[in-house]
Chains A and B, each alone.
Chain A
Amino acid sequence: MIKLEHVSKTYEAGVQAITDVNLHILPGEFVFIVGKSGSGKSTMIKLLQKELAPTHGKIMVNGRDIGNISRKNIPTYRRNIGVVFQNFRLLQDRNVYENVAFAMRVTEASKREIKKKVPQMLSLVGLAAKYRSLPRQLSGGEQQRVAIARALVNEPKILLADEPTGNLDNHNAWEIMRLLDEINQRGTTVVVVTHNMDIVKAMNKRVITIKKGVIVSDEEEPGDED
């Protein structure tokens, strides 16, 4: 499903973000990528989203070398990967319904499909009753659930979450993790970047630890942060 072969990324300023990373994530897996700030974990998410291009190496997603995807075809590629961000990144001037519907509108889905699908997703994340609220009228946890509904509405096979609980209190963080687990149970491959080791340990999933841009451990049981 996701395969990184000898991937390195050096930023223009000469900062080496990740070095010679090899990684294989299977379909339906739930994987945590952990590490301190600046360890390179967010860079990995950006590489998978094709927001950045690797300096060296090859990234395969769904059997395709994403290095070969032309700029024109990047949008189509991204529609098959759901993304959740730490700061939610919702469209502030649109309500909950419109934020989720927007992800379908970009695929030129019909009005009928949108009307059918969006309420389903809002029900899944428990926000059906708040479909008319604006993001600023919601709590952090609720905003993150809208972001998850938006990421899933096009039924991607992969969900990438970059510090999805970073801006949330403990209760909301657990709510979001339970939701991500449920989504994974339905068959979506979930990759979560986090530094919240309490959650990682409790979830009991595969954990990849990155330190200074290098994978230092990859285990089925939670490991130490360093």
Chain B
Amino acid sequence: MKISTFTYNFRQGLINIWRNKMFSLASIATMTACIFLFGTFYSLAVNFSSMVQSAEEGVAVTVFFNEGTTDDRIASIGAEIQNRPEVASVKFVSAEEAWESFKQDYFEGNEEAAASFEEDNPLANDANYEVYLEDVSMQETLVDYLEGIDGVREVKQSELAAEVLTDFNNLLTLVFIAIIVVLIAVAVFLISNTVTVGISVRKEEIAIMKLIGAKDTFVRAPFIVEGIAIGFIGSAIPLALLYFLYGRIVTYVSEKFAVLSSMMDFVPVDEVFQILIPVSLVLGVGIGFVGSRFTLKRHLKV
């Protein structure tokens, strides 16, 4: 296609949007609604996922050693654990640190009672490793492995927390995928319907073009420009709206629901939109392109 033909068709596509104002508005509104819903669910999913992730990071397996295990052996056990692929980090807690932590948890306001144990640490044999996992679903495997290490007396785990988090994460992923698939299907259906109506109004115009010798690409080009432009506008509007609303909602929720904000950190707006902007634009432009390209096909057989 010559550059002059390309610019002519490009201009015609934009002019068509204006000429068919009602059709263009209907398409943009449909696209805006779909992308807005998509963006809303995406933002929710990203925040839930981040919440689950931070909860997962707090899940640890505690490893205690046999009485009399040397410091060297404890260090080598630590190195061995650290090398496991499912392990994110390992923290050594000495007997003294364990006692300090215990005191804080159980003797708060009753320090005198605790002081009577100072000379004889009741947790003298409770030095341990706190092992944090990359993926909590791997907890079972890790525990089996840890229990088999020579010198390990006991392995404590929070089975319930790991299971609940893994199940919740899986459920969240499934729900999110299902919602996205349904939304995309609805968007494609609605937009192709709107495009069908728009094109059937202009089928006489298409037939005339074909009868005077226009090639399919020439007839199609302005419609595709139109579809892409509508897709672009229809995804840019909800993105701008969501960008504005996200910050407002995060501030509102943090202020009004202090409990929630203490439980989780909201994902920063830039981090959410780093993915949301390109995905939404590709979706909008892609649906606009596919909608006009394929709906036009059957009208080109003149």
Contacts and interface: CB of A to CB of B under 8 A. Distances in A.
A91 interface: yes
B212 A93 contact: no
B5 interface: yes
Contacts of B107: none
B1 to A, nearest CB: 7
Contact of B5 (A79, A89, A103, A108): A108
A78 B212 contact: yes
Interface string B199-217: 0000011011111111100
A110 interface: yes
Interface in B1-58: 1-2, 4-5, 8, 19
A107 B211 contact: no
A163 to B, nearest CB: 15
Contact of B204 (A89, A102, A154): A89
Nearest to A46: B211
A108 to B, nearest CB: 5
A78 B213 contact: yes
Nearest to B9: A105
A107 B19 CA distance: 24
Residue from the set B207, B208, B210, B302 with the largest chain A CB neighbour count within 10 Å: B208
A83 B5 contact: no
Given A89-B204, A105-B8, A106-B209, A75 B214 contact: yes
A103 B212 contact: yes
A150 interface: yes
Contact of B205 (A91, A151, A154): A91
21 contacts: A49-B211, A51-B302, A75-B213, A75-B218, A78-B210, A78-B212, A79-B212, A83-B211, A89-B207, A89-B208, A89-B211, A91-B205, A91-B208, A92-B205, A105-B5, A106-B218, A107-B213, A108-B2, A108-B4, A150-B212, A151-B212
Interface of A: 49, 51, 75-79, 83, 89-93, 102-103, 105-108, 110-111, 150-151, 154
Interface of B: 1-2, 4-5, 8, 19, 204-205, 207-215, 218, 302
